[in-house]
Amino acid sequence: MTEQTEGEIRSEVRAWLEANWDSNLGLVEWRLKLADSGWGVPTWPTEWYGKGLSDGMGRMIDEEFERAGAVTVARTGIRNLAAATILAHGSTMHKEKFLLRILTGEDSWCQLFSEPGSGSDLAGATTRADMKGNKWIVNGQKVWTTSAHHAQYGLLLARTDWDVAKHKGLSYFILDIEQDGVDVQPLRQMNGHASFNQVFFTDAVIEPEFLVSELGDGWKVATTTLMNERRGADGLRKYAKATEQPGRAYAEEAEEIAHQLEPYKWYPQRAGRVDLVIQRARETGKLDDPTVRQEIAKLLTLSKTTQWTAMRARAAQEQGGPPGPEGSLGKLSASNVARKAALVHTMLSGADAMLTGDDSPLEGVIAEILVSTPATSIAGGTDEIQKNIISERVLKLPKETRFDTDRPFREVPRNIVE
Amino acid sequence: MNFNFTEEQQEFRLVLRRFLEDKSPTTEVRRLMETDEGCDPEVWRQVCQDLGLTGVHIPEAYGGQGFGFVELGIVLEEMGRALLCAPYFASTVLAATTILNAGTEEQKVTYLPPIAAGDVIATLAFTEDNGRWDNEGVEMTATASGDGTSGDSYTLNGTKSFVLDGATASQIVVLARKPGSTGDVGLSLFMVAADADGLGRRKLKSMDPTRKLARLEFKNVSAALIGEEGGAAVPFARTIDQAAVCLANEMVGGADKLRETAVDYTLLRVQFGRAIGSFQAIKHKAADMLLEVESAKSAAYYAAEALDDDTEDWPAVASLAKACASDTYMQTAIVTTQMHGGIGFTWDNDTHLWFKRAKSSEAFLGDSHHHRELMMQRWQD
Ligand SMILES: Cc1cc2nc3c(=O)[nH]c(=O)nc-3n(C[C@H](O)[C@H](O)[C@H](O)COP(=O)(O)OP(=O)(O)OC[C@H]3O[C@@H](n4cnc5c(N)ncnc54)[C@H](O)[C@@H]3O)c2cc1C
C-alpha cells in the first residue's frame, strides 16, 4: 500500500462519516462501528481498531469529526492511559479483553500509583503483591485515585521483590476493582470536594495472567503510563464537551461526560481562571486602578508566555525535532500562573474574598479559585520535583547524590504507614 | 521603644499558650467551625472569667484589666496561633475599642463592664455590601426622631455586611450617617440590641469557618447614640487603625504556627530514602519563611508598642504591620501547604484551617495594597 496524502485521508474520513454518522444510534453501537472502521482511533495499529496513522493525521481526523459533529470513541479519564499502556506492554489476551470496551466507554479505569508514603518518590511504593497458591495477593493502600469509585479496573503498581533495588522490585498489574479485597473511600480536599479516593487492599486477588509485561518490569511500564499522562494532560478537558443537539448518541455522550466530570467541576478553578480577571475587574470597578492594572498585566504576561512556550514546544515536536526544554517548563509555569491568579482575584474581590459557597462572587467560583489553586503546584509532580527535573535533565547539572537506589529496598529508610 | 517583652508579659503568654493548646486543639476547632455559634460556652466562660481576657485593654474603671495594646496583642497572637473559635475579636477588639474611643463617660460605664466580664458579646457593624473599610463607604442612614437635640432616639435604615459574629452578638455597635451627608461628615455611632424590631440577621458562608460573618438588614431599627452626633469619623478611624494592629498580631500568631508545623513535617516525611527536610530546596523555603514571619512579628509588636506609647507615627506603622502580616500569613500558608505535598491539600490535614484564616484575614480591614497606600499617605520622614 502506498502512503496516502493528507488530502486523500481527509476526503476518505469525510465520506465515511457522511455515510455512517447518525446521531440516532446508541452510543455503544456507534462506537463499535468506529472501532470496526479504524476511524475511531486512527493512530492505533491496524490490527487493534486503528489505521496506523501519525499523530498529525490523527489531529486532522479529529477536525473532521468536529466538522461533522460526530461523537468520538470514549476518551475521557484514565481509560486513555490504560489503552496506551496495554497497547505498548499488554499481552494479546489483555488487548482482546480490554481495548474494545475502553473505546465504547463500557469500562472505566483508574490508576493505582500514588501512595500515602510515596508521592514524589513514586518508585518507593510499598503496596505489596505476593504470589500465594498461584494467585497474586495484594495488600496496602493507594491514594489520590481518580475515578476509583466508578471504575471496573485499575492499573496497579505494586512491590513484588523487597530484596532488590527499589525500581527493580516493582511489577505492574491489571486489577479488578469490583472485588471484596478492594475498599474505595472518598478523599476530601481542602476545597470541600471529594474528587479522589483512597483505595485499600486487603488480600485482593489478581490472577497471574493479569501481570503486565514481566515480573519486575513495573517501573518501566509505569513510565509509559506516566508519559502518556503528561502528553494528554489536557485531554480530559479537551474532549469533554457535550453538545445539546438532539439525538440519542449526543444524549448518551452528555450523560457519560456529566457522570465522569462531576467530581472535577473545580478543575478549571485550580488553574486560576485567568479568563475571568478582566470581567471581574470591570464588575468591581477596579479596572482603572493603576495598582490593580499592574498586577493584572503581570498575570496576563505570565499566562500568555506560558501558552506561547507550550505552543513552541508543540510546534517543535510536530516538526519532528527532539522535545526542547520548553516542554518541562509548562508545568512549573502553570503553578506560577495559578498562584498569581489567586492573588489578583483576592485583590479584585476585596471583602468578598472572605466569603464562600453561593455567598462568594460568581456563585462561589471565586472562593473555589482561592482554595483550589494550591493543588496546581502539587498535583502531577510538585514544583520542587519539576525544578529538579529541569535542572538535572534539561540543564544537565550534576545529579543529587542518592541514598535509596544503591541498596535493597528493604534497607531504604521510608515512612511508617500503619 | 521597648523591644523586649517584660517577664510578666512572657509569663502571661506562656499561661495563655498552655490554656489554648489544651482548650483549642484542632479537633475542637473542627467541631466548633461546623456549628452556628462557633464557640464553646465553657471555654468562653474561662476566657472571660478565669483569665479576664475580654477586658484586657479595658481600663479598670470600666471593669477591665487596664493593660494596653501590647498585652492585647499577646492575647491575639496566641488566639491566632490556636485558631480559637470565639467572638473575641468582635467583642473586645472591635466593639469595646469603639466605645472606648467614642463613648461618653456614662456610656463607657454602662456598656463596657458587661463586655469586659464576657456577659455581653458585642460587635461592630461598619462595612456594607460595597466592602469598603473606611468612612466613605457608609451609606446606612440614621434619622433623628425628635428635633435634633440630644436625648433623641434614632432610626437606622440600610444594610451592614461582613459583620464579625454578627448573627450571635447580643449588642451591635453600628456606624451610620445623617441622610444626605457624605465622607467624614455626618457619621455617628449607635448601639442596637440584637433583638431590636426591624433587624434581620443572616449568617454568611465564610471562607474561614472559624470566624463567623453575618449580613444585617436594618428596617426602621431604633438605636441609641454613642458619643457625639456627627462626631464618629475620628474615633471610628482610630478604632480601625487599632484593630489593624490587633489583627496583625493575631495573624503573625497563625503564621508562626504554620511555619512550625511545616518544619516539623519536613523532619518526619521521608521521600527518596531521606527526610524531605534534608533537601536544600526545602531548607531554603524554611529559612525564607522564618525570615518573613519574624519580620512580620517585628512589625506587629512594634505597632502595638507604638500605639501604647501614642507615638506620632503609629497610624502609619499600623498599616505597615497589617500589610506585612497579610502578605506573610498568606505566603506562609501557601508554602506550608506546598511543603506538605498532596496531604497538605486534603481536608483531614489541618493546614487548610489556617490557610483559610490567612485568606480571610488578608482581606479583612483592607488588603495589603490598601494598607501600603495608607502607610504612604501617613508616612513622615
Ligand atoms: C489535587 C491533586 C490531584 C492529584 N491527582 C493524582 C492522580 O490523579 N494520580 C496520582 O497518582 N496522584 C495524584 N496526586 C498526588 C500527587 O501526584 C502527589 O501529591 C505529588 O506527587 C506529591 O507527592 P506527596 O503528596 O507524597 O508529597 P511529598 O513527595 O511527600 O512532598 C512533600 C514536599 O517535599 C518536597 N520534595 C519531595 N521530594 C523532594 C526532592 N527530591 N527535592 C526537593 N523537594 C522534595 C515536595 O516538593 C513537597 O513540597 C494528586 C495530588 C493532588 C493534590
User: What ipTM describes this predicted complex?
Assistant: 0.96
Q: What class, spelled out in words, does domain B7-117 have in CATH? A: mainly alpha
Q: What whole-number distance in Å separates Cα of residue B282 and Cα of residue A387?
A: 12
The CA–CA distances, whole Å, from B294 to A220, B51, B375 equal 47, 28, 20
Instruction: Kindly state the percentage of chain A with pLDDT values over 90.
Output: 78
Q: Which atom of ligand 1 is nearest to the CA of B339?
A: 49
Helices of type H across A354-408: 365-372, 383-389
Cα–Cα distance, A144 to A31 (Å, whole number): 30
Residue B22 — φ and ψ, nearest 5°?
A: -75, -45
DSSP-assigned beta bridge partners for residue B187: B177, B231
Burial of B280 (0-12, 13-18, 19+ CB in 10 A): exposed
Which ligand 1 atom sits nearest the alpha carbon of residue A382? 47
pLDDT for A149 equals 87
Q: What does the DSSP assignment read for B25-93?
A: -HHHHHHHHTSSS-S-HHHHHIIIIIS-GGGTTS-GGGTS----HHHHHHHHHHHHHHT--STHIIIII
Residue A134: which region, alpha, beta or left (left: phi > 0; alpha: psi -120 to 50)? left
Mean pLDDT for all residues in chain A: 92
Residue A237 has pLDDT above 80, yes or no: no
In angstroms, rounded to a whole number, what is the distance separating the alpha carbons of residues A287 and A115? 45
Is-above-0.90 flag for pTM? yes
Q: How far is CA B208 from CA B51, B95, B160, in A?
A: 26, 21, 19
A119 within ligand 1 shell (Cβ under 6 A): yes
Chain centroid, CA B69 distance in Å: 13
Shortest Cα–Cα distance, A229 to chain B (Å): 18
Which region holds residue B372: left if phi is over 0, alpha if psi is between -120 and 50, else beta?
alpha
Q: What is the CA radius of gyration of chain A?
A: 23
C-beta A375 within 6 A of ligand 1: yes
* Cell numbers at B196, concatenated: 431590636
Distance of alpha carbon B322 from the chain centroid: 11
Residues of chain B with CATH 1.10.540.10: 7-117
Name the nearest CA neighbour of B24 among B256, B367, B275, B353: B353
Query: Per-domain residue ranges for chain A?
Result: 11-73+249-254, 90-98+105-230, 266-381
Contact indicator for A158, A212 with CB cutoff of 8 Å: no
Owner of C-alpha cell 524531605: B276
Please say whether the beta carbons of A353 and B359 come within 8 A: yes
Kindly state the cell numbers that stand for B176: 451610620
Judged by a CB distance cut-off of 8 A, whether residue B338 touches chain A is yes
CA atoms within 13 A on the CB side of A329: 18
pLDDT of A101-124, one tens digit each?
A: 999 999 999 999 999 999 999 999
Please answer yes or no on whether A352 and B131 come within 8 Å at the CB atom.
Answer: yes
Number of neighbours of residue B37 by Cβ within 10 angstroms: 15
Indicate the residue type of B273.
G
Between the alpha carbon of residue A331 and those of residues A167, A267, A379, A382, the distances in Å are 25, 15, 10, 9
Distance from B34 to chain A by nearest Cα, in Å? 13
Q: What CATH code would you report for B122-230?
A: 2.40.110.10
Asked if pLDDT for residue A326 goes beyond 70, the answer is no
Measured in angstroms, the CA of A55 and the nearest CA of chain B are apart by 33
If you write DSSP's letter for every residue of A218-286 in order, what string do you get? HHHHHHHHHHHHHHTTTHHHHT------SSHHHHHHHHHHHHHHGGGTTHHHHTT-GGGHHHHHHHTT-
What A253-260 contacts at long range (C-beta under 8 Å, 24+ apart), as own/partner pairs, is A253/A27, A253/A71, A256/A27, A256/A74, A256/A76, A256/A105, A257/A76, A259/A150, A260/A76, A260/A77, A260/A108, A260/A147
A418 pLDDT tier (thresholds 50, 70, 90): very low
As annotated, the residues of chain B forming the CATH 1.20.140.10 domain(s) are: 234-380
Pairing of strands A153-159, A170-176: antiparallel
pLDDT lower than 50: segments of chain B: none
Please judge whether B273 and A413 are an interchain contact, meaning their C-beta atoms are less than 8 angstroms apart: yes
The finding on whether A144 has its CB within 6 A of some atom of ligand 1 is yes
What residue type is assigned to position B11 of the chain? E
Q: Is the C-alpha dihedral spanning A377, A381, A383, A386 positive or negative?
A: negative
Q: Picking from A296-305, A390-399, B206-215, which range would have the lowest pLDDT averaged per residue?
A: A390-399
Residue A238 has pLDDT above 50, yes or no: no
Which one has a higher pLDDT value, A373 or B150?
A373
Give the pLDDT score at A233: 46
Label residues B125-145 b or e (16+ Cβ within 10 Å = b): bbbbeebbbbbeebbbbbebe
- The phi, psi pair for B67, rounded to 5°, reads -90, -175
Whether residue A347 contacts residue A297, with contact meaning beta carbons closer than 8 Å, is answered with: no
Q: Does B281 contact ligand 1 (Cβ within 6 A)?
A: yes
**Domain A90-98+105-230 annotated CATH 3.40.50.300:** no
For residues A211 and A171, what is the distance between their CA atoms, to the nearest angstrom? Answer: 7
One-letter amino acid for residue B290 of the chain:
L
Buried b / exposed e across B307-332, counting CB within 10 Å, b at 16+?
bbeeeeebbbbbbbbbbbbbbbbbbb
Closest CA to B74 of B60, B57, B98, B59: B57
DSSP per-residue string spanning A20-80: H--TTS-HHHHHHHHHHHS-SSTTS-TTTTS----HHHHHHHHHHHHHHT---S---TTHH
Contact A351 B274 (CB under 8 A): no
Euclidean distance between CA atoms A341 and A295, whole angstroms: 9
Question: Chain B, 40-79: which have a CB under 8 Å from a chain A CB?
Answer: none
A101-A104-A106 Cα angle (round to 5): 60
Across the interface, whether the CB atoms of A351 and B273 are under 8 A apart is answered no
Please give the DSSP secondary-structure letter assigned to residue A95: I
Phi, psi at A203, each rounded to 5°: 50, 45
Cell of A285: 470597578
In whole angstroms, how large is the CA radius of gyration of chain B? 21
Tell me the longest C-alpha to C-alpha distance in chain B.
81
Q: Are B212 and B137 in contact (CB under 8 A)?
A: no
Mutate to test the pocket of ligand 1, among B272, B282, B339, B345 (most ligand atoms within 8 A of CB): B282
Tell me what the mean pLDDT of segment A209-215 comes to: 98
Residues of A in contact with B343 (CB under 8 A): 116
| String of DSSP letters for A141-209 | EEEEEETGGG-SEEEEEEE--SSS-GGGGEEEEEEESSSTTEEEEEE-BTTS---EEEEEEEEEEE-GG
Q: What is the pLDDT of residue A323?
A: 64
Is residue A385 in contact with ligand 1, taking CB distance under 6 Å?
A: yes
- The verdict on the CB of residue A310 being under 6 Å from ligand 1 is no
Q: Range with the lowest mean pLDDT among A238-247, A267-276, B27-36, B250-259?
A: A238-247
**Three-class secondary structure of residue A128 per DSSP:** strand
With a CB cutoff of 8 Å and minimum separation 6, the contacts of B223 are: B142, B153, B154, B155, B156, B174, B176, B190, B191, B192, B196
Ligand 1 atom 51: residue of nearest CA:
A379
A233 lines ligand 1 (CB under 6 A): no
Q: Where in chain B is the domain with CATH 2.40.110.10?
A: 122-230
Contact of B28 with B42, CB cutoff 8 Å:
no
**CB distance A113 to ligand 1 below 6 Å:** yes
**Distance between CA atoms of A187 and A144, rounded to whole angstroms?**
7
Interface residue B229 vs chain A (CB under 8 A):
no
- Stated as kind and residue range, the H or E segment containing B251 is helix B233-268
Indicate which residue's Cα is closest to atom 13 of ligand 1.
Answer: A144
B132, B205, B367 member nearest A359 (Cβ) = B205
Chain A contact for B363, CB < 8 A? yes
Burial of residue B222 (number of CB atoms within 10 Å: 0-12, 13-18, 19+): middle
Minimal CA separation from A147 to chain B, in Å: 17
Average pLDDT over every residue of A315-325: 73
Nearest residue in A to B341, CA atom: A378
With 0-12 / 13-18 / 19 or more C-beta atoms within 10 angstroms meaning exposed / middle / buried, residue A29 is middle
Q: Which fold has domain B234-380?
A: Butyryl-CoA Dehydrogenase, subunit A; domain 3 (1.20.140)
Q: CA distances (Å), B96 to each of A46, A187, B40, B59, B242, in order?
A: 79, 43, 21, 11, 12
Confidence at residue B367, expressed as pLDDT on a 0 to 100 scale? 97
